[in-house]
């Protein structure tokens, strides 16, 4: 009997130990994870975003979704290529990846099968581009590549590496039940919540705080009072889905301006535009040699017409990219294509510095067009005529100025058409700036048109070199994912 009781006691103790330790182990293991590629502005993603980033997070409290937005953050697109090369996931957007052999692409498959796949797989790790599969509770968040958004329950963590807490602390911010206790032990900066863009709308949280370079937003209790925007109505609750459309995030706003300015600078120093303006001013002076006011008015009228026509061309270019990108996989390749195109234009301009040949392909106005342009401009005798001729002459300018503008249009196509207007206005303001300066200098008598023409001819190779270096550096940075 004593032996029997001893055995019984040992078995009972073992069962108690398993029962006590079992939930803790299960809590660690019973985590699901999905890698989700989407794009703001993608019509197919507009159907899946509210489900993957809303409904599923509410109904699956153990689910973590690592979101890679690839349209407004084009640097994320290269990770879709990595996943495809390693796991054969395809490049169709939206894309939801569970593990090496389970991934769904396109809105129909995700809406129809995502819940079933999660149920069949049960707990699964986060499949990383490196080939590892790591449970969410062990995820090295700081080492995640690109610009991910990490969703869990009623929380989202946005950032990438940089300054801030270690991965263990970031995991606690995302998963710990006592969020107030975690934040009270950290240096953080409470702030008004920022709408998180979805395709076709946005999600607004109740609270937000910045911890180093990471932004944490959440719903529910928090150490700070509810901030501006809490009362916004959403379709389906706090994580329910689209509210007002959001056209750009911080990356779109901060990184687009330097790129647009660089491309506009390349176009602004293009010898074509300077040469055409010089021809027009010479024609005006020949007809009105003593009336410099005519030079001012005609020059400004010409510049205004060029500005307006190029603005219209820009809208057409952006809209064309929008139509092309209706094919869902195209945007993943577009940014890389634009980077390669920029490198090509850089090489062509540097070629013109090394071995200059007038009328070179894609960098100068073709020689056969030049007599036609000169003939059209020679008839200009008034500001109204200069404006009309400017509208027409822009067609002849396109062969030598369209390259940087196409690249700019491709970059801006991540935004809605109306939202590109400020960037297009900025681009064209920089583009016509040298023409405005030349007109004013001639009007004030500080230089002659002949001097401008001679300066352009003396420095034409240097102008090509400057343009080539600028646009090539931009292209390399785009290919490397640095901008």
Decide which of 359 and 49 is more confident. Answer: 49
* Angle made by CA atoms 161, 162, 166, in degrees to the nearest 5: 65
Q: Cα(109)–Cα(375) distance, rounded to whole angstroms?
A: 61
At 21, list the tokens.
């330790």
At 352, the pLDDT band (50, 70, 90 cuts) reads very high
Q: What confidence tier does 330 reach under pLDDT thresholds 50, 70, 90? A: low
Tell me the pLDDT tens digit for each residue of 250-291.
Answer: 444 444 788 899 999 998 888 887 788 788 788 777 766 667
Cβ contacts of residue 169 below 8 Å, gap of 6+? 182, 186
Whole-structure pTM value: 0.61
| Domains defined along the chain, listed by start | 29-218 (3.40.30.10), 250-479 (no CATH)
Q: Are 411 and 256 in contact (CB under 8 A)?
A: yes
| Distance of alpha carbon 206 from alpha carbon 197, whole angstroms | 15
- Residue 128: how many other CB atoms lie within 10 Å: 20
- CA gap 187, 68 in Å, rounded: 27
pLDDT digits (tens, 9 = 90+) for 422-431: 999 999 999 9
| 407 pLDDT above the threshold of 70 | yes
DSSP string, 211-274: ETTEEEEE-S--SS---TTTT---TTSTT----S-----HHHHHHHHHHHHHHHHHHHT-HHHH
pLDDT tens-digit map of 127-155: 998 888 888 888 899 888 888 999 999 99
């Amino acid at each position: 009997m004593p032996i029997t009781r001893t055995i019984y006691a040992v078995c009972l103790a073992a069962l108690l130990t398993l029962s006590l330790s079992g939930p803790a182990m299960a809590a660690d293991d019973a985590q699901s994870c999905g890698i989700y590629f989407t794009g703001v502005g993608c019509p197919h993603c507009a159907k899946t975003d509210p489900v993957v980033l809303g409904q599923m997070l509410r109904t699956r409290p153990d689910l973590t979704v690592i979101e890679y937005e690839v349209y407004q953050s084009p640097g994320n697109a290269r990770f879709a290529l990595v996943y495809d090369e390693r796991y054969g996931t395809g490049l169709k957007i939206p894309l939801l990846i569970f593990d090496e052999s389970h991934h769904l692409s396109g809105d129909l498959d995700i809406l129809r099968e995502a819940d079933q796949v999660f149920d069949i797989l049960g707990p699964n790790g986060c499949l990383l581009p490196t080939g590892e599969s790591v449970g969410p509770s062990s995820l090295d968040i700081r080492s995640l590549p690109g610009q991910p958004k990490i969703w869990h329950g009623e929380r989202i963590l946005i950032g990438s590496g940089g300054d801030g807490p270690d991965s263990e602390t970031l995991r606690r911010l995302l998963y710990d039940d006592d969020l107030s206790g975690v934040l009270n032990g950290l240096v953080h900066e409470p702030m008004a919540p920022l709408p998180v863009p979805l395709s076709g709308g946005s999600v607004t949280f109740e609270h937000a705080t910045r911890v180093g370079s990471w932004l944490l937003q959440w719903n529910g209790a928090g150490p700070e009072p509810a901030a501006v925007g809490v009362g916004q109505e959403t379709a389906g609750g706090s994580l329910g889905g689209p509210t007002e459309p959001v056209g750009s995030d911080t990356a779109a706003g901060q990184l687009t301006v330097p790129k647009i300015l660089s491309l506009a600078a390349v176009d602004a120093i293009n010898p074509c535009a300077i040469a055409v303006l010089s021809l027009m001013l010479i024609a005006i002076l020949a007809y009105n040699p003593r009336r410099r006011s005519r030079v001012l008015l005609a020059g400004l009228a010409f510049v205004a017409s060029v500005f307006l026509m190029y603005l219209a061309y820009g809208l057409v270019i952006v809209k064309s990219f929008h139509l092309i990108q209706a094919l869902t996989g195209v945007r993943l390749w577009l940014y890389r294509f634009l980077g390669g195109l920029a490198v090509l234009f850089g090489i062509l301009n540097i070629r013109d510095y090394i071995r200059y040949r007038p009328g070179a392909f894609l960098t100068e106005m073709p020689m056969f067009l030049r007599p036609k342009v000169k003939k059209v401009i020679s008839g200009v005798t008034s500001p109204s005529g200069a404006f009309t001729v400017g509208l027409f002459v822009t067609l002849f300018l396109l062969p030598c100025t369209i390259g940087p503008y196409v690249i700019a249009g491709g970059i801006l196509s991540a935004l809605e058409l109306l939202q590109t207007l400020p960037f297009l206005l900025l681009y064209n303001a920089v583009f016509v700036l040298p023409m405005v300066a030349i007109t004013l200098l001639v009007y004030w008598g500080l230089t002659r048109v002949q001097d401008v023409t001679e300066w352009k001819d003396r420095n034409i190779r240097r102008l090509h070199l400057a343009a080539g270096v600028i646009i090539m550096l931009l292209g390399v940075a785009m290919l490397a994912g640095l901008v």
